[in-house]
Amino acid sequence: MGHGGMGTVWRASDTLLRRDVAVKEVILPPNMAPSDRDSMYQRTLREARAAAALSHPAVVQVYDVVTEAARPWIVMELLQARSLAEMIVEDGPLAARAVAKIGIALLGALEVAHAAGVLHRDVKPANVLICGDGRCVLTDFGVARMPTDSELTTPGMVLGSPHFISPERAIGAKFGPPSDLFSLGVTLYTAVEGRPPFDKRDPFETMRAVVEEPPAQAMRAGPLAGVLYGLLEKDPGRRWNVETARAVLRDLLAGPLASNAPAHMTDPYAVVRPVQQPTVVTPQQPAPTGQIGGRAMIAPGETVSGALRRMHSAPAAGTAHEAELERTDASRFSADALGTDWTQVPPPPPPTGNVATQLVERAKRAPKWAKIAVAAGVAVVLLLSVGAAAGLFSGAGSTSQGQRPAGPASSAPAKPPFEVESFSHPGGITVNVPKGWTRKQAGNASAPYFDITDPADANRRVRINIEKASSTPKAFLEGAANRLKSTAASCAAPYEQVNLGDGKLDGHDGALLEYTCGSGDQKRHALWNAIVVNGKAYHFFVTVPDARFDESKAIFNEMVRSFDLTGPAAGQ
């Protein structure tokens, strides 16, 4: 039925129970030493034990292990399915809603595995099966590791495909369940975007990008982008866990990614609609390339030497497919349940430190056979020290208190240096905003909020909101600051609080927060003003690229000057 890194999967018949099953045969190189063959057989048995101990609809079921001619064969349930990798190659990127449902299914599988002390360590599209009835199944725990079997793992061994490996594994640091979640993030990104977030011309450059560079900007993900960036956090301590990712995905499926199709009956574990008939490639459609994973992966039927020649002869510029992705109009996606327009959210910034230099230097010293092994997507032996991890995650998530005063001067100019128009929030706010900016309502009908965006620069945005509050204005903004620190999807690391002080709106005492998110070209600068009147917080913020902060402060000044409570709170 197929080939994998551990051997061949056969379709077979169970003559006792009279059912069709799948049998995994381990194929070892003929010149492998006897001791290595024994270790591989032990690893196969470990895979069977690890998978058989898990019970979840999204985990393939293991029935038995049979020893024949001193070799183990794993007997598993037979699934009528295609791998997620095949679907991406043959049908193109999946819809964001389908990818969100796949994500929920795989999060459940990993949650059960991690609770049992099992790390998958090779989560990628080729190991995700989508059955004909829509069920999503995680397969191939062939590199899974039980804590009691740690002696079977060679120190420094890096297993899995370079595109899907986590940063901590790439540098040889200690890793755990967050490593599987990073690989899941790469898998979901690849499914919705049609390409991996880290894709360079060779495996070592790809691994360097995984450690050092931010993921490529998501063009097709829409509101799903926030979850992807949360799972792709470099620092495993800040990376989203199962509970956070699943909660946001469920909110998206109930909100921005809700289905508009007529109700239909389907399996409760289905992630896509059942396949009615096989996909037919028409003359108008591009023929399948048969390759998944990007330029650093070996193509079906391609030899290792041929792959190396292709890598070194390929042009440095992006492919035509990448150019097409760059032209994709992502503005058709709506905002997510939290009100953030994820089509405007930049990828998280790269970490600081010299990790990339260390990785490249170790890659250069790797033997030639190791480089070829990575090119084939099988395994790489890198003698990486655990201490190299210290430079990657040091200082992540730290908050600094700047000395620069926040916000505008105490007296705003009588006339702003730009055209304005009045905006009225139905909850009782009237305020001036730049004329001609695009208005967008989000939230629900009973508690809406409004995003007002510069049509010439989608990264300049104003949000006006009203919500229940029982605290002081400063405590209200302190809570907002804590959410920004802990939610990478809302505020790319590093979050830096410039100032949190007193403010005033329409004669009411309030609080003013100034902060930045991200670094480099992706750094954003924001001012947030709030008052609390009669149990409600009336607040707004202005968020812009850091390079345009000084010129944009006039917008904030005018909003402070013109802010007027027109509802029941007026005069309180």
Taking only the tens place, the pLDDT of each residue in 483-520 is 888 777 678 888 899 999 998 898 899 999 999 998 88
- Mean pLDDT over 216-231 rounds to 93
Q: Which residue in 122, 140, 180, 336 is the catalytic one?
A: 122
pLDDT value at 71 more than 80: no
Pure H helices in 338-472: 355-365, 368-375, 390-393
> Which pLDDT belongs to residue 7?
73
Top-confidence residue, 378 or 205: 205
- Total-model pTM: 0.52
Is 475 or 231 the better-scoring residue by pLDDT? Answer: 231
Percent of the chain with pLDDT over 90: 33
Averaging pLDDT over each range in 354-358, 380-384, 536-540, which range is the top one? 536-540
How far is residue 50's CA from residue 393's CA, in Å, rounded to a whole number?
31
**Sign of the torsion formed by the C-alpha atoms of 244, 226, 447 and 510:** positive
pLDDT band at 464 (very low <50, low <70, confident <90, very high): very high
pLDDT above 70: residue 37: yes
For the chain, domains (ranges, CATH) are 2-77 (3.30.200.20), 81-260+267-273+338-392 (1.10.510.10), 420-565 (3.40.1000.10)
pLDDT given for residue 307 in this prediction: 55
The average confidence (pLDDT) of the chain is 74
Mean pLDDT to the nearest integer, 314-335: 34
Q: Which long-range contacts (CB under 8 A, 24 or more apart) does 545-553 make?
A: 545/457, 545/459, 545/460, 546/516, 548/457, 548/460, 549/525, 552/460, 553/407, 553/408, 553/527
304-313 helix and 368-375 helix, angle to the nearest 10 degrees: 90
Res. 330 pLDDT band, cuts 50 70 90:
very low
Which range is most confident: 105-109, 147-151, 270-274, 275-279? Answer: 105-109
Confidence of residue 278 (pLDDT cuts 50, 70, 90): very low
Cβ contacts of residue 186 below 8 Å, gap of 6+?
Answer: 124, 163, 164, 196, 197, 198, 232
Average pLDDT over residues 62-89: 85
Check: CB of residue 271 under 8 Å from CB of residue 134: yes
Of 288-297, 457-466, 548-557, the range with the lowest mean pLDDT is: 288-297
Q: Are the CB atoms for 279 and 78 separated by under 8 Å?
A: no
pLDDT band of residue 314 (cuts 50, 70, 90) is low
pLDDT at 108 over 50: yes
Long-range pairs for 297-301 at CB < 8 Å and ≥24 separation?
297/161, 297/163, 297/377, 298/375, 298/376, 298/377
Of the listed ranges 107-121, 271-285, 392-406, 438-452, the least confidently predicted one is 392-406
The amino acid that residue 302 corresponds to is E
Average pLDDT over residues 66-72: 78
Q: Is 454 a catalytic residue?
A: no
